[in-house]
Amino acid sequence: MKQKLEALKIEALAKLQEVADPQALNDLRVKYLGKKGELTEVLRGMGGLSAEERPVIGQVVNDVRGAIEEIITAKQEAFQQQETQNRLQAEKVDVTLPGRSMAQGGIHPLTRVVQEIEDIFIGMGYRVAEGPEVETDYYNFEALNLPKNHPARDMQDSFYLTDDLLMRTQTSPVQIRTMQGMKGEAPVKIICPGKVFRRDDDDATHSFQFHQVEGLVIGRNIRMSDLKGTLQQFVQEMFGPHTGIRLRPSFFPFTEPSVEVDVSCFKCGGDGCRLCKQTGWLEILGAGMVHPKVLEMGGYDPAEFSGFAFGMGVERIAMLKYGIDDIRNFYNNDMSFVKQFKGV
């Protein structure tokens, strides 16, 4: 029996020594030490031993068990260490690697100028109104005192989609829509920023699409002096406190009288420079008192109400303000151009 135990011990230790993973180790533990294990099997046979033999064999059994348990414990620890090592290796983070930076966007210069204009007029109690870019002939022309065959329609070569639908050539239709929506209520104080479209060949200063901001005020006793005061206030906030304005007679079908509004050059202060072509003035706005026919189309009685309107090109203002010499820069998505305005 003693020999059997020694053989068992040698076999068990050899197998345990070669064991490669925790599952195999556990299988061997059950094989030798389990309830139905080989060592237990030997112990069962001890009943047939003599009283002298029993303690001797008992001692051998304990030795064998001890040796097997010892190697199992050592193997378990080794496996655990290996596992920890593997996990640390897998979760390893190299804190010295450079970080990934998030690309931060900037606001497009046209959007920036529109927001600036909006802020100034909102500060004066205006609200922002918007309308569709595809318009009917009625809203784009007729209601603005431009009946069919009116010669001034030629000033605005248009993109017609059907006989009656076109890409709006100005943001003025929003003024008519707003007036009609007010159903004769006053005052009206709105600005209408938006994209407009004209059949034009693109070059450094022309584009088939551009942006306008128009303004409209309607109420009782609205006078030309109110228009002038409003625009004076606007240009001072937009271009600096020393900016002046100059009104020149002009013609628009939807205003009477009509004026072109020049602002004193904000670069040279009026002395004359390249930006203002040595005149000291920059042409920036068109304006006038709302034509009585337009008031009527909008649902207001010209005998009781009056109003003024003005409009400006956003691209022109942005070009003057930021010294941009080609309008196409705004649209061709050249990142090196757009990035210059980050944080301006």
Nearest approach, Cβ of 325 to Zn ion (angstroms)?
Answer: 15
Nearest approach, Cβ of 263 to Zn ion (angstroms)?
Answer: 11
Nearest approach, Cβ of 269 to Zn ion (angstroms)?
Answer: 7
In the bound state, the residue with its beta carbon closest to Zn ion is 265
Residue 173: closest CA among 125, 211, 137, 222: 137
Residue 66 to residues 43, 69, 211, 316, Cα–Cα distance (Å): 14, 5, 91, 95
Give, in degrees to the nearest 5, the angle at Cα 182 between 179 and 183: 95
Question: Please, which residue, 223 or 277, has the CB nearer to Zn ion?
Answer: 277
Question: Please, which residue, 42 or 275, has the CB nearer to Zn ion?
Answer: 275
Nearest approach, Cβ of 260 to Zn ion (angstroms)?
Answer: 17
Question: Please, which residue, 269 or 302, has the CB nearer to Zn ion?
Answer: 269
Question: Please, which residue, 281 or 310, has the CB nearer to Zn ion?
Answer: 281
Residue 112: closest CA among 280, 314, 276, 266: 314
Question: Please, which residue, 1 or 273, has the CB nearer to Zn ion?
Answer: 273
Question: Please, which residue, 49 or 275, has the CB nearer to Zn ion?
Answer: 275
Question: Please, which residue, 42 or 268, has the CB nearer to Zn ion?
Answer: 268
Nearest approach, Cβ of 283 to Zn ion (angstroms)?
Answer: 12
**Is 52 labelled a binding residue?**
no
Residues near Zn ion, by CB under 5 A: 265, 267-268, 273, 275-276
Nearest approach, Cβ of 274 to Zn ion (angstroms)?
Answer: 7
Count CB-CB contacts under 10 A for residue 304.
12
Nearest approach, Cβ of 237 to Zn ion (angstroms)?
Answer: 20
**Residues flagged as binding site for Mg(2+):** 256
Bind-site residues: 256
